[in-house]
């Protein structure tokens, strides 16, 4: 890492922004109705990333454990909200938020801690240059997996109510009555990350590896980090998806193993 990255000036970024303005002009001329959205999204990218840069700059400078802890909790809270927002029929009440968030918390934090304390071992272990990006990547991917899993689970339980109840009537326990749906929901949650592992390096050069190569790391060094990240993300997503599908399935039944779909919010979001 002896050669440093070429710095970008505000002018460089302004030129890149010109491309987006050009695209917006084009879509406006063609009346595609996308120009406004494009410009707003572009502006958000600038504001959000500059803010992130400022926060991380401050964080790296102080390296205070409490501050790092606070940031990770904010990250988790936002990811939890996102998981709930992506479901068509989330659970009512605290469960709606708590179920996905708990699964993500246990899985992402455990695996990030594991990687920091046993594999990467920075000094100190919570050094934010490592902890924050690792956790961010874990949460970002786990979030998608958990959201897909829970959405598929609740949606299909709703649609296949008659079948689940028929299986209960024949004397199956709750576990067995919903196992096909649970298995499908797990598959749905895990397919994107399994595909990403299979396609890595051939169809796409993963963002993190790109970043490290640009920053002057050797391609082999970048590849090794990318492999580590891929495994962490897959394990984290997998454990979180298994946990959330189990908790979700359990919550669909009461203590007498009756299917209680009224614990889900109706589709229009009311109630």
Residues found near another protein in the complex (CB under 8 A): 160, 162-163, 165-173, 180, 254, 256-260
Distance of CA 5 to the CA centre of its chain: 29
Q: Which one, 12 or 254, has the nearer CB to another protein?
A: 254
- Least Å from the CB of residue 259 to another protein: 8
- Least Å from the CB of residue 184 to another protein: 12
Task: Return the SS3 of 259.
Answer: strand
Burial 48-59 (b: 16+ CB within 10 A, else e): eeeeeeeeeeeb
Q: Which one, 131 or 164, has the nearer CB to another protein?
A: 164
- Least Å from the CB of residue 241 to another protein: 23
Give me the helices (H) in 115-218, please.
Answer: 128-159, 161-169, 174-177, 179-199, 207-214
Q: How many helices (H) and strands (E) does the chain have?
A: 11, 0
- Least Å from the CB of residue 167 to another protein: 7
Q: How many CB atoms lie within 10 A of CB 100?
A: 32
Q: Which one, 82 or 180, has the nearer CB to another protein?
A: 180
Q: Which one, 29 or 256, has the nearer CB to another protein?
A: 256
């Amino acid at each position: 890492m002896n050669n440093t990255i070429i710095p970008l000036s505000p002018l460089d970024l302004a030129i890149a922004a010109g491309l987006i303005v050009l695209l917006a002009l084009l879509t406006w001329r063609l009346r595609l109705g996308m120009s406004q959205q494009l410009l707003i999204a572009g502006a958000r990218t600038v504001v959000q990333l500059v803010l992130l840069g400022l926060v991380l700059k401050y964080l790296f400078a102080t390296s205070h454990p409490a501050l790092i802890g606070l940031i990770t909790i904010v990250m988790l809270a936002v990811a939890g909200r996102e998981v709930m927002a992506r479901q068509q029929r989330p659970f009512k009440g605290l469960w709606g938020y708590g179920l996905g968030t708990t699964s993500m918390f246990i899985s992402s934090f455990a695996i990030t801690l594991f990687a920091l304390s046993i594999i990467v071992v920075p000094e100190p272990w919570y050094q934010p240059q490592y902890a924050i990006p690792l956790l961010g990547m874990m949460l970002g991917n786990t979030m998608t997996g958990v959201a897909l899993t829970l959405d598929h689970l609740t949606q299909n339980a709703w649609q296949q109510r008659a079948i689940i109840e028929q299986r209960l009537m024949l004397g199956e326990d709750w576990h067995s009555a919903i196992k096909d749906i649970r298995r499908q929901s797990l598959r749905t949650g895990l397919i994107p990350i399994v595909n990403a592992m299979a396609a890595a390096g051939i169809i796409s050069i993963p963002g993190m590896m790109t970043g490290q190569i640009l920053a002057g790391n050797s391609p082999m060094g970048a590849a090794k980090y990318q492999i580590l990240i891929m495994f962490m993300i897959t394990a984290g997503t997998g454990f979180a998806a298994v946990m959330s599908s189990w908790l979700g399935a359990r919550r669909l039944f009461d203590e007498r193993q009756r299917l209680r779909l009224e614990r889900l919010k109706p589709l229009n979001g009311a109630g």
